[in-house]
Structure 1
């Protein structure tokens, strides 16, 4: 990107500070500073309804780190398309990947103006690698693929990262179709990394927290059952241990200590054969 995103007054005008926003609440739960009082108030109210919900942010972040390290290390992936990036924090995708393989290339995609305003933090890179940021909506598959091709070589394997983003696509057919179209555009050996908030009969407090959010916040969230989340990996070789609570996906060195035994954010990694 040739322009400095933070300098764009037009981007700043798109940021609504009078309504809580999921990316900023997520940032608040992760201990970040890119949030407003309205976000903190909503985040605290959601935690009252479901005290463990803030742990989802940490579990999801740790899952991202483990998945990217595995793909860059054991699987030899050198290209990552991270859609629904969220606000920059510690251990962003490019930082994790380039620690393993400095030549890794990463394209971030998000349509949140606050993320765009902070995109400079996502555009650092090793000299050997490269990063880029696209201001696009997940639904605009063709536009994402066309612009990402400036940085990524789609004749070589790519890891598609969709953490907590398809929850914003309410219609099941549309959600599955978007993921399928993205994976269809990637060559054999590519991988899908996906996480999603679940609904399950033994987790009614999660449903209550999501209902509160959908009444007061933006954008609206859609929960799916663990079985429905697993359907996003249809046609792919699902890596062990499958689609599980994010803190159960190949935990290492006690990094998940302090988290509940299970969180209602499930994730998995699948390979395109």
Structure 2
């Protein structure tokens, strides 16, 4: 008898750095061939946690070196108190937790806030980065968003018709040390609106649709002067930094050279002693 995992596939969608046009990471999206496993995962924290583990393993099979975004429902974190199996899966895949952003998604209604915040604290203690997902189209209270202190806020593209709200969210992100990402960008008009409102990252079918193989290149429209927002204090250094790849300390010079010449989005290599 076939298991539900036999019909589960994963797709990868790039997260694009709007300052450089480079791919800053890959969001891993579950794509079941049959059934609605995501609806079941919303009701079943153990299943949702298992999907996160399988997502990391799927990325490992594709041998992607880019940072990864893994989706988890807020209720899952509050119920489980953390994601220990995900931490183990990341280590088994040869990655480190700071290469993984946990995209915490709605619904937040009826989720115990204190339990959620404690689970986020545990994830941070393990080294994971935190993203507040679906902001603007979900039900996350502003106070809870501030208490979550995410590293990244993902804003729904539907909010781009209200640029003042997007600029206000950018200000909140600046004050809390987070980056602002607009997700669901489908048109060049939305791209321009995201730029002029101050978003630093974006994702959507305009750049690249979700695909079974991680995209090697993305489409980034040319900028017009009207799209460039007024200067603030200047962009932060981390907006321009491209991710370094990790190799074991036993890697040869030839392996390092092959990686750097074959992966243009990788800016450097860190040799890691797994012990």
Q: TM-score, normalized by length of structure 1?
A: 0.35
Q: TM-score, normalized by length of structure 2?
A: 0.35
